């Protein structure tokens, strides 16, 4: 229904990260028309190296969409995770404790799978859209506008999904007095390196060392992804590959350090750590989802997984609206998301506090030692950690909520 540079769709999605792309596919499966508008090129989006750990609930959503065949072929299932402390490693046996595991499969690969699925079903995604603006979302006829290669475009829609990440335009379009913001900024960042070398570890190792945190992760049997806690003043150029591997070896524990190969990095980046939640997630006909609404420090591996549960709830609410003209799930969207978001915020904050160096706080250092000792001694504490790490349940779907209400 395109008239010149004006188009109409049911849902305009801002951002083609995991939240936007996944919402696009979920809506497509529900027969709802959507257009995705993204600021960067598809290649740029695919070049961002981020998450690696998927909860079982996330994998189940991708299964339902039929976009998980490569994930099952190439991803690896991890039934445990290790915590390094004072030179020793302690395994948390996830599967034994809570009956679930996590899957290691890069965010880049999920993004590629979702982009391919979108192209295969002929749905529209506009890349390199600049000056994206949101209009009239407080009323019933919202619009978004943007420019592409010098031409102005407008999309009229029923709803806008703000899936444009922490630095996006959607949250910034809402008048500040309407936003309730909860935030904690941590006094350090993570320096991440990707390198083509077989990992000398089978499961992820989160290490608390005197010199700061380190994480040993992987992407495949021939590719590692490793992180070290760094100063907020550090720049990527301050860290040669040799310096990175030297620091990583000193933190990860002797037994692994001896087997680490200082391979050349194929990607290196620094991410600051923050906890952030905005309430509510709904403003009229604008719905925020994923990093646009919340940030977790990466220590708990929750950011991508939360983006998935948000858009899962949003697609159910939009589906019910179009099927039955029922507004209720849309009204409940924010509360439903926030219940899960705050629990993931709590867990990520807890993991971050237990594993990083917080200089100048002797009491906090003793509490950290005590927490970790307790964790290694107590099956109850390990079960709690495992339950959160593999992901808390999504909760009942709107279908089953309706069945309950009718009973
Ligand atoms: P994004 O991925 O940020 O996507 C938003 C999109 O919107 C981008 O493509 C952006 O270009 C676009 N955009 C922005 N502004 C505009 C605009 N004005 N107009 C149009 N488009 C716009 N999470 C996990 O679950 N597990 C992990 O193991 C994990 N590890 C991580 C490690 C690191 C180092 C980092 C930095 C993050 C990690 N995360 C992890 C978090 C995870 O990567 C994010 O939570 C996830 O990317 C959120 O997806 P999103 O789609 O909401 O936002
Ligand atoms: C990875 C990132 C994380 O934040 C994490 O907690 C575990 C693994 C990764 O990039 O592999």
**Going along 248-385, which residue ranges are E strands?**
265-279, 282-283, 286-288, 294-295
| Protein residue with its CA nearest to atom 3 in ligand 2 | 301
Sign (positive/negative) of CA torsion 350, 354, 360, 366? positive
Contact assessment for residue 41 and residue 1, using Cβ atoms and an 8 Å cutoff: no
Sequential pLDDT tens for the chain (407 residues): 444 599 999 999 999 999 999 999 999 999 999 999 999 999 999 988 888 899 999 999 999 999 999 999 999 999 999 999 998 999 999 999 999 999 999 999 999 999 999 999 999 899 999 999 999 999 999 999 999 999 999 999 999 999 999 999 999 999 999 999 999 999 999 999 999 999 999 999 999 999 999 999 999 999 999 999 999 999 999 999 999 999 999 999 999 999 999 999 999 999 999 999 999 999 999 999 999 999 999 999 999 999 999 999 999 999 999 999 999 999 999 999 999 999 999 999 999 999 999 988 899 999 999 999 999 999 999 999 999 999 999 987 766 545 444 44
Distance 64 CA to ligand 2 centre (A): 24
Structure tokens at 69: 């065949």
Distance of alpha carbon 373 from alpha carbon 304, whole angstroms? 30
Return the biggest CA–CA distance within the chain: 67
Residue 407 confidence (pLDDT): 42
Distance 46 CA to ligand 1 centre (A): 11
Residue 404 confidence (pLDDT): 45
Q: Which ligand places an atom closest to the C-alpha of 269?
A: 1
| Protein residue with its CA nearest to atom 53 in ligand 1 | 165
Distance 318 CA to ligand 2 centre (A): 31
Contact assessment for residue 194 and residue 49, using Cβ atoms and an 8 Å cutoff: yes
Contact assessment for residue 187 and residue 361, using Cβ atoms and an 8 Å cutoff: no
Q: Is 389 a catalytic residue?
A: yes
Q: From the CB of 298, is ligand 2 less than 6 Å away?
A: yes
Residue 400 confidence (pLDDT): 55
Pocket test for ligand 1, best of 51, 52, 341, 345 (most atoms within 8 A of CB): 51
Contact assessment for residue 293 and residue 282, using Cβ atoms and an 8 Å cutoff: no
Q: Which atom of ligand 2 is nearest to the CA of 300?
A: 6
Distance of alpha carbon 216 from alpha carbon 250, whole angstroms? 13
Q: What is the pTM of this model?
A: 0.95
Q: What is the DSSP string of 63-130?
A: HHHT--HHHHHH-EEES-EEEEETTEEEEE-HHHHHS--EEE--HHHHHHHHHHHHHHTT-EEE-S-E
Neighbours of 116 (CB within 10 A): 12
Distance 219 CA to ligand 2 centre (A): 10
Distance of alpha carbon 67 from alpha carbon 71, whole angstroms? 8
Contact assessment for residue 329 and residue 317, using Cβ atoms and an 8 Å cutoff: yes
Residue 277 confidence (pLDDT): 98
Contact assessment for residue 311 and residue 163, using Cβ atoms and an 8 Å cutoff: yes
Please give the angle made by the CA atoms of 235, 236 and 239, to the nearest 5 degrees.
100
Q: What is the DSSP string of 183-210?
A: EEEEEEEEEEEEE-S--S-SS-EEEEET
Q: Which of 268, 228, 313, 276 is nearest to 57 (CA)?
A: 313
Residue 406 confidence (pLDDT): 46
Q: Is 302 a catalytic residue?
A: yes
Distance of alpha carbon 327 from alpha carbon 310, whole angstroms? 17
Q: Which of 174, 156, 154 is nearest to 164 (CA)?
A: 174
Residue 87 confidence (pLDDT): 86
Residue 162 confidence (pLDDT): 98
Contact assessment for residue 112 and residue 106, using Cβ atoms and an 8 Å cutoff: no
Q: What is the DSSP string of 62-76?
A: HHHHT--HHHHHH-E
Structure tokens at 137: 């979302």
Residue 106 is classified by DSSP as: -
């Amino acid at each position: 229904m395109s008239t010149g540079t004006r188009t109409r769709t049911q849902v305009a999605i801002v951002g083609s990260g995991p939240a936007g792309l996944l919402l696009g596919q979920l809506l497509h499966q529900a027969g709802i028309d959507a257009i995705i508008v993204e600021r960067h090129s598809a290649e740029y989006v695919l070049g961002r190296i981020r998450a690696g750990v998927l909860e079982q609930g996330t994998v189940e959503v991708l299964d339902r969409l039929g976009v998980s065949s490569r994930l099952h072929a190439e991803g690896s299932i991890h039934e445990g995770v290790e915590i390094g402390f004072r030179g020793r490693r302690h395994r948390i046996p996830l599967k034994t404790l809570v009956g679930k595991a996590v899957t290691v499969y890069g965010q880049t690969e999920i993004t590629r799978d979702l982009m391919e699925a979108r192209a295969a079903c002929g749905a529209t995604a506009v890349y390199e859209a600049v000056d994206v603006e949101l209009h009239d979302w407080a009323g019933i006829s919202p619009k978004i506008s943007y420019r592409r290669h010098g031409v102005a475009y407008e999309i009229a829609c029923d709803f806008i999904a703000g899936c444009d990440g922490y630095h996006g335009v959607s949250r910034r379009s809402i008048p500040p007095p309407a936003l309730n913001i909860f935030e904690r900024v941590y006094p350090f960042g993570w320096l991440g390196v990707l390198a083509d070398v077989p990992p000398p570890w089978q499961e992820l190792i989160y290490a608390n060392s005197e010199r700061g945190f380190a994480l040993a992760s992987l992407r495949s049997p021939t590719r590692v992804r490793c992180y070290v806690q760094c100063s907020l003043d550090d720049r990527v150029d301050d860290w040669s590959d040799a310096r990175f591997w030297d620091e990583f070896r000193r933190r990860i524990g002797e037994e692994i350090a001896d087997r680490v190969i200082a391979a050349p990095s194929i990607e290196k980046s620094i991410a600051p750590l923050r906890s952030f939640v905005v309430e509510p997630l709904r403003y009229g006909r604008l719905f925020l989802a994923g990093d646009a609404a919340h940030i977790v420090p990466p220590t708990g591996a929750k950011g991508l997984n939360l983006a998935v549960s948000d858009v899962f709830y949003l697609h159910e609410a939009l589906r019910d609206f179009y099927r039955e003209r029922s507004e209720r799930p849309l009204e409940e969207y924010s509360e439903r998301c926030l219940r899960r978001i705050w629990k993931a915020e709590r867990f990520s904050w807890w993991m971050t506090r237990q594993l990083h160096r917080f200089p100048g706080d002797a009491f906090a250092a003793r509490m950290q030692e005590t927490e970790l000792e307790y964790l290694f001694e107590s099956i109850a504490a390990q079960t709690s950690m495992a339950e959160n790490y593999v992901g808390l349940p999504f909760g009942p779907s709107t279908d089953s909520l309706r069945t309950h209400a009718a009973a």
